Structures are given as structure tokens and as C-alpha cells.
Amino acid sequence: MRNSTFTVPSNAPEAWAVHPFDAPLGAQVVGLDLSQPLDDDTFRQVHRAHLAHHVLVFRDTRITPAQQIAFSRRFGPLQTHVLHQFQLRGHPEILVVSNIVENGQPIGLGDAGHYWHSDLSYVDKPSLGSMLHAQELPAEGGDTLFANMHLAFDTLPAALRRAVDSLQAEHSYLCKYEELRARSPWRPPLSAEQIAQVKPQVHPVVRTHPETGRKALFVSEHFTTRIVGLPERESAELLAQLFAHSVRPEHVWRHRWQPHDMVFWDNRSVMHLAAGCPDHLRRRLNRTTIEGDAPY
Ligand code: SIN
């Protein structure tokens, strides 16, 4: 499917199409109206395209938060973010990702995703996928980068691939939290209750995608703290090597946002990074996350 463009006029409500990017991942979907529930056949085609391309960009998507939630729920139950301060009022399933400050208060998480990561890898059932819907975009910057973690695994030197295949790693929400707080005016301190909600979890370093059976590297600089059973220095060196390999340019695609884009990525197949934008330019997006399986 990577090199094909397909148009689906059949029994879909209107003609729509998936156009793969000339890149290690990703495709854009044009002409699909997500404000209405998709019929089962159209939904199956979207699901298949998501598995094949790992990141789908739905162009010109004019939907409300409730419609984003309804579409996200077709893929599974939704997860709420531990930073409840930044849930959208009336819609706790939506995390507001924004650098906007109103009346001295941030309206969203301004520095979300400033290290490479897979969403919610620090919980027992990390996110299957996330949908990020553009509300306000800066005139400059604000891109999101994605790395194909299947390719990252497949292209490891064979001996390293065998060595990491049976390892486990710890993931913690707290891994970079204080570091981010030290340089970000937006990060609130965590309450004892919030800390209790994000106890570290252990997951395989290499996970098998539950729907495609493909293996993917599953460690990230944002949340992975150590390789279980390795001395500290050896663990840190191995993780640094895996992080650097994962984001080699040939594994990465950069999304440059257009108005009304909604991007839906597969957290079991990719990592992502928010590239950031100048502080004085407003950026606001609504994110839903769909619960996945315990990695194996
Ligand atoms: C995220 O990590 O979910 C946010 C990504 C972005 O703001 O580009």
C-alpha cells in the first residue's frame, strides 16, 4: 500500500482518497467528512490505511471536540491525561496542547512532546494512537516529527537486534518532568495524587504490533528510564544508542501543519516530537488518546 494512491468512491458518502507521502511513513487523507459517523466499510478502509502508513493526516477537518471524541472512540476506549488542569472544559477526553496564556494562566500543556516519545508509554496499557486536531497554528514553526519504529528495529545491526529483543525497560512519566519544569513556565508541580497515578511500568524494549505482527523498538528519551537488569552505565549507553538510531533522518517524517489538519498516529509504530515554535506565536491543538494493549 505504501506506493499506491487509492480512491474510494464505492459506497462511501463521497469520493475520498489516501495519498501516501514519499517518506518513511505517513499518508494524507482527503475528502473524508469526519463530522458524520463513518459507515463500517469506510471505517475499515481508514483503519487499514492507518495500519499501513502509521500516520494519517486528515486535511481540512472541520469537527467539534465532541466529533473528534466520537471518531476516536471508534478505535477503542479513550484515556485521560494525568495533567487534568489541561483537559478541555466539558471534554476531559481532550488534552489541550497549547502555549497560550490567558489571564496569567496557561490554557494547555505548552511544552507537550518536546522529547521524542510514544504517548502514555508510562502506563500499563500505553496508547494505541493519538489524534491531534489543529485549532490555532503559528505562522512559523510548530511542526511535529514522527519516527518509524518498525524501520528503527529492522535496521539495527543484527547482533544488536538479537541482543535487545528479549530486554525489558522501565518507563516513567517523571523521567524528564523536573527538567521540563525547570525551563518551562507552563508545567505545574504534580500533586501526590497525580504522582500516584503514574507509577513506573516495565515494557519490552521490542514490542510486537498487536494488529500487524510487526516488531518495533519501544523506548524513548522522554519516558524510558533504564533497561531492567543492566548496570546503570551500560543501560544508559544502550538507551542512548537506541534513541540515536531510532531518529536517524531516514526513519523520520516532518509534519508541517495546515489549518484544520487532524493527524492520527499509531503509538505502537511511531514516536513523535514537537519541534516547538517561538513563544509569542499562538499554537493550540486538541488531543485525544486511545487506549491500547499491554505491549508484548
Ligand atoms: C504531543 O506530544 O502529543 C504533542 C505534539 C505536538 O504538539 O506537536
Structural domain boundaries in the chain: 6-291
Cα of 233 to ligand 1 centre, how many Å?
30
- Indicate which atom in ligand 1 lies nearest the CA of residue 113: 2
- Indicate which atom in ligand 1 lies nearest the CA of residue 255: 8
Q: Considering the chain, what percentage of its residues have pLDDT values greater than 70?
A: 95
Residues contacting ligand 1 via CB (< 6 Å) = 97, 112-113, 130, 132, 144, 272, 274, 285, 287
**What is the residue with the minimal CA distance to atom 3 of ligand 1?**
113
Cα of 157 to ligand 1 centre, how many Å?
30
The three-state secondary structure class of 186 is coil
pLDDT at 2 over 80: no
**What is the residue with the minimal CA distance to atom 5 of ligand 1?**
274
Lowest mean pLDDT among 133-137, 185-189, 214-218: 185-189
Query: C-alpha angle with apex 202: 264 to 272, nearest 5 degrees?
Result: 25
CA–CA distances in Å: residue 132 to residues 174, 261, 289: 23, 8, 9
Query: Please, which pLDDT band fits residue 14 given cuts at 50, 70 and 90?
Result: low
The domain over range 6-291 is classified in CATH as 3.60.130.10: yes
Chain position carrying cell 512532546: 113
DSSP strand pairing (27-30 vs 55-58): parallel
91-124 tens-digit pLDDT:
999 999 999 999 999 999 999 999 999 999 999 9
134-178 tens-digit pLDDT:
999 999 999 999 999 999 999 999 999 999 999 999 999 999 999
pTM as predicted: 0.94
Cα of 274 to ligand 1 centre, how many Å?
5
CA–CA distances in Å: residue 262 to residues 23, 101, 159, 227: 19, 23, 39, 35
Q: Annotated active-site positions, please?
A: 117, 119, 272, 287
Give me the helices (H) in the chain, please. 40-53, 65-73, 149-154, 158-165, 177-183, 192-197, 232-246
